[in-house]
Structure 1
């Protein structure tokens, strides 16, 4: 049985389950590591450091001079020995034991991460072809990551916000966010899970600025696409057109949109106009209504629509007086939201439309 109360940086790095979770996410251990810090809050610093080291190993750049890495490795080894009293760790040059040899790849990866995060290494020439999962370069304090694989690439930002970068997409971001700015630039598509903070988090993509404090959302802004699309998973997002000169103060924030969970904003580039709509597959935000076991028996339409509003967080508009006499007997267990609406509307001879991020029920009533 592992004693996570005594876990150190070394333990995290040597934990196969933890490494698999950091590198791939998902899988049977996902719930455990997702909730780990709730149970062991004192391990946050070690866990985050291990996470960055493991991710850095996947972005290793051979252009970094090995002698410089060796110097950084020795410094890091000294730090680790301080954090683990009584367990002095020596470099491979000092001790050729198997223990240190096993540590060396992680130490090297940590040093590469340190170079990337503290601007010791400047990429002044194109990186040679390699089998790395992403092409990564650093200019000043700006990190640029491109996903050339066929799977989403996980990126952990300095504020612990998480980004899954889609294939053929590029994200540019500071190695460290400042107290006054959390800004990234995207070309392509990415799924953002932003940590709450006092400073707004902003994504520049496809002529649009997406502004949040902390939420989950997806931005799609490939250069070849006619539209830029922002889909909100949780929370509230503000979107507006970027000003011609670029700075936020010249952005057309007043002409933007506020969108919430299960809503989407579509910016048509040719006419520079926003449209608010719903995502293609709305997810349930609340489990308070148990559709799996609930059966509606001669239930008023207004009651069923109210349950759907609560479950999906989407406004459903209809003429209450016109549909007052409508009673429905049905179960809504397996269908998605749109299938539920189609079933309800068909039973009363009505139709539904999506208007401005809301659902509108139209019909003659019962």
Structure 2
């Protein structure tokens, strides 16, 4: 079934989805849906929240201003012209009203509350006046590249977010907090680079790796493309670290902190197939194929004169380099100039020497 066009109401009206939320039935199917439709994570999470809240709804009414506000919210939503309810069975109509009531109540009582996900708790604990953090969120439907102040790059998958220290280029620790899936290419530096992904803490010096750590998932996965990383599990601060090398991956079960190390040829649950599997080793490769790969891997747009660069070819090994460093080396090799403005890159050249 194609879930790409489902909205919250569609998930709530799906018997199999409700059975999964309430009883854990057919969990493998729905976990694969979450992985295969990352743009639907928000709708799935909200639908789950509403179903769980509805199943625990107490048998008493709301009063006063709260009651009036909730019912006004219900009336407004029932009047929406695009609301697709004509195909619902009669009992779904009643369920829709209950869902709206529960959703409105949840929104009413939680709109001013702090998000208590592991991600937000860690960021709030780490942020101080001397160590402030900036946040980037990928709200689109394709990968989005974030260049960190220290020169490292992070490719955020749809729905993912990171918070990072704004003094990464200074003396403070290179710390990044992740919620969602992202591919990291870390610039080599004598200062350690640390990624906090739910209960998993990843320590690196310079390497590339993929992490998947969504708030609602039961697993945290990491796969190493190049270099080495060391994994620790919090709050087990005194436990020995687990080291991973290139082509190894690890899966953390969050409920019991069990960590399994696997070779890369075994599919790791919850780990998307993205930049981590791309090879940036080029042997006499045409310039257009190099730029096409970069656009696909990093979600950027590269503008260049195809006629002038028709004879340009590249031989280089760039797997260990962040995006900016890749572009710098590519443009040097092709006798070109690269200008970066957000996700748009302009390459100018007079042509390559044959």
Alignment TM-score, normalising by the size of structure 2 = 0.38
Alignment TM-score, normalising by the size of structure 1 = 0.36
Larger Rg: 1
Higher relative CO (Cα under 8 Å, sequence separation at least 6) belongs to 2
